[in-house]
Amino acid sequence: MTNTYAIVLAAGQGTRMKSNLYKVLHPVCGKPMVEHVIDHIHGLGANRIVTIVGHGAELVEETLGEKSEYALQAQQLGTAHAVQQAEKLIGDLDGTTIVVCGDTPLIRSETMEALIAHHNETGAKATILTAIADDPTGYGRIIRGADGQVLRNVEQKDATSEEQKVTEINTGTYCFDNRALFDTLKKVKNDNAQGEYYLPDVVGILQSEQALVSAYVTDDFSETLGVNDRVVLAEAEGVMRRRIAEKHMRNGVTIINPDNTYISAAAEIGRDTVLQPGTMIEGQSVIGENCTIGPNSQIVDSQIGEGTTVHSSVVLSSTIGSATTVGPFAHIRPDSNLGDRVKIGNFVEVKKSTLEEGSKVSHLSYIGDAKIGERVNIGCGTITVNYDGKHKHVTTVESDAFIGCNSNLIAPVTVEKGAYVAAGSTITENVPESSLAIGRARQENKEGYVQKLNLN
């Protein structure tokens, strides 16, 4: 077995993005593009993975963590110079090295595998992954000889008008014999339009030295999209979005309209769950089986059990149990924990609160910093008054308690087990178990008062 190494180029600033964020950290379906590349490389079982970092090196390393080793390219002198930085780590090893750009997030493991297999079979010193582009503008062009043999790559800015008509492009992914790669990098010159050391020149140099160089043409151009600006970023997002939706549909998730449903690369969704239009499942969200999410719901970094409905609502960094219903128009803010068979109705906001099994907040309430037990009923318009202007305080409502409509529970306060709070109460003191608290002015009827006012 030939050893395989991978080098990912991620040192560029990404000037054409016109962004304060380094290019390779721009997310595609919620995941930085360089992380997509690295995750796909992981599927190859490479012996070593080296990422070349420069602009935003610390942030890139923080993002990828242990998934890669790193080599610093302090000055960005071109893609060949970038690869050279890996020499001290892997330069003296025997094997095949795949080089991938950090800005090609759509490249698949299968394609890289096929490229490596082709490279190893032909015994070439270099194999370039190419594709046929409808519009090759901006890409390097593959120049072939009369017999179809790959001669070299020419960059857009260095190409003659004749060469610019070539539609076979360099995707930015290559395989090299590792030793031949590092030997040849030393011979690359920067006498070109951009004054840079171009990695694809390695292919031309090897060819001129009579070494065998080859190309592997992939038939899916979209997979090789290089994201250089925000227009292509949106294009890549579209391709990735459809790819993710298809994966879930094949796994048994119904997506009513995949074109307006947005699922992060990391999300997990159980079978027979239905995603209604306008739904966004973001971050590290996990949704169980038989749920209905949407229409128009946003779930971010949250866990949801089975058979739960989230209708036209926002759920952020929270956990929701099974057979629970949320919405329409509810807002579940971070650190909330809703148990099984809980009901959160319309215009309810929940923040940093726990509601145990079977509890209900059906209409127009604010539940913040609260601990609500099992089978509690919180009447319409109830507010946990959690903030005194300086500090947040906890409201505790124990199991089987019943809070009448339009009550204010002024924290810190506890309503004990099975206690009742009369509608319209403002509760400032703890309510003992099984008692009824009434905290409101007593009603007074002034009989005949209206006639008196009429003065007749």
| Residue 41, amino acid | I
By the rule CB under 6 A, 184 interacts with ligand UD1: no
Stretch that binds ligand UD1, among 7-15, 42-50, 213-221, 328-336 (CB under 6 A): 7-15
Which residue, chain included where needed, has tokens 């979005």?
241
Of the candidates 119, 363, 391, 393, the residue annotated as catalytic is 363
Whether 40 is a known active-site residue: answer no
Query: What part of residues 234-263 is at the interface with ligand UD1 (CB under 6 A)?
Result: none
Q: How far is the CB of 45 from ligand UD1 (least distance, A)?
A: 23
Measured CA to CA, the distance from residue 373 to residue 416 in angstroms comes to 10
At 80, which helix (H) or strand (E)? helix 79-84
State the binding partner of 167 from Ca ion, ligand UD1, none, CB within 5 to 8 A by kind: none
Closer by beta carbon to Ca ion, 102 or else 307: 102
Least separation in angstroms between CB 56 and ligand UD1: 10
- Single out the residue of 243, 248, 292, 240 nearest to residue 267, CA to CA: 248
Please, which residues have CB within 8 angstroms of residue 124's CB and are 6 or more apart in sequence? 175, 177, 211, 212, 213, 214
With CB under 5 to 8 Å by kind, the binding choice for 198 among Ca ion, ligand UD1, none is: ligand UD1
Q: Which is nearer to Ca ion, 38 or 344 (CB)?
A: 38
Q: Is the dihedral of CA 15, 235, 58, 69 positive or negative?
A: negative
Question: Token pair for residue 82?
Answer: 């970038």
- 60 CB-near residues (< 8 Å, 6+ apart): 10, 22, 24, 25, 34, 51, 53, 70
CB of 177 to ligand UD1, least distance (A): 19
Q: Are 375 and 392 in contact (CB under 8 A)?
A: no
Per CB under 6 A, contacts with ligand UD1 among 188-227 are 198-200, 226
Q: How many CB atoms lie within 10 A of CB 354?
A: 18
Per CB under 6 A, contacts with ligand UD1 among 46-85 are: 52, 54, 73, 76-79, 81-82
Nearest approach in angstroms of CB 73 to ligand UD1 is: 5
Minimum CB distance to Ca ion, residue 191 (Å) = 21
- Of 58, 38, 54, the closest CA to residue 46 belongs to 38
Minimal CB distance residue for ligand UD1: 140
Shortest distance in whole angstroms from residue 213 CB to ligand UD1: 15
Q: Which residues bind Ca ion (CB under 5 A)?
A: 103, 226, 228
List alpha helices for 155-284, DSSP H: 161-164, 178-185, 201-208, 230-250
Strands 96-101 and 325-326: unpaired
**Based on CB atoms, which residue is closest to Ca ion, 100 or 299?**
100
d(CA 92, CA 190): 25
Residue closer to ligand UD1 by CB (options 226, 345) is 226
What part of residues 14-43 is at the interface with ligand UD1 (CB under 6 A)? 24
What residues make contact with ligand UD1 under the rule CB under 6 A?
Answer: 9-12, 24, 52, 54, 73, 76-79, 81-82, 101-104, 139-140, 153, 155, 169-172, 198-200, 226, 228
Show which residues are catalytic: 363
